[in-house]
A = this chain, B = another copy of it.
Amino acid sequence: MEKKILICDDHKIFREGLRALLEKQPGVKVVGGARDGLEAVKLARELSPDIVIMDISMPGLNGIEAARKLAKVKKSARVIALSMHNDRKYVTEIIKAGARAYLLKDSAFEELMDAIKAVSCGRFFLSAGITNIVLDDYIKGPSRDPRSAFTLLSAREREVLQLLAEGLRTKEISQKLALSVKTVETHRKKIMEKLGIGSIAGLTRYAVKEGLITL
């Protein structure tokens, strides 16, 4: 029996490209395409796909919320998350939302086929590099709150992070906080370690995303 597939992505040309690739494969059939989360849920109800390939960033209702809804409304549909972000936040959230696979858009198409086979058999599938994130969270125990700067970092660390992201250099921060330069360095190191970010530029982008500073 052919697997029915629903493709959800807000870029039409991407949907068409993926459809073209899938149509060359035996055993699968693309039954529809959705351009946002709401349409994804609607079409999933109408078409009863076996597999839903779900982009995460979509306007209106994003892929994570859409997956959450599908888990309630259409349990039979196996969701494969497909995203350009390898951000831990997205990964953990959509997996918790019921997705059975997480692929990066940078993956080869072959990996997508592997994922389709895996979830069809009831197994999970994670892109290389994603596994680390999930296992990392797993061994750290059930962290129910989302991994934000406020749960991950200590108050002092957030303080240092903000100053770093605002552009102060190590010496200035040490003066401002009445600390040794070495202490500030240690804080920076711990922050980078916790967040898995290895540069000031990366920390700045993170701080903006988390709302610690404004552009």
Contacts and interface: CB of A to CB of B under 8 A. Distances in A.
A168 B204 contact: no
Q: Which of A17, A18, A197, A198 gathers most chain B CB within 10 Å?
A: A17
Contacts of A17: 14, 16-18, 20-21, 109
Number of copies: 2
A205 interface: yes
A20 to B, nearest CB: 4
Interface in A177-206: 197-205
A105 interface: yes
The 3 closest A-B pairs by CB, nearest first: A17-B17, A167-B199, A11-B105
A200 B108 CA distance: 34
Nearest to A105: B11
A166 B202 CA distance: 7
Interface string A1-30: 000000000111110111011001000000
A177 to B, nearest CB: 17
Interface of A: 10-14, 16-18, 20-21, 24, 35, 82, 84, 103-109, 112, 164-169, 197-205, 208-209, 213, 215
A18 B11 CA distance: 12
A36 to B, nearest CB: 11
Contacts of A13: 18, 82, 103, 105-109, 112
A24 B20 contact: yes
7 contacts: A12-B109, A14-B17, A14-B105, A16-B108, A20-B20, A201-B201, A208-B208
A167 B202 contact: yes
Contacts of A215: 205, 208-209
Contacts of A109: 12-13, 16-17
Contacts of A164: 201
A134 B17 CA distance: 28
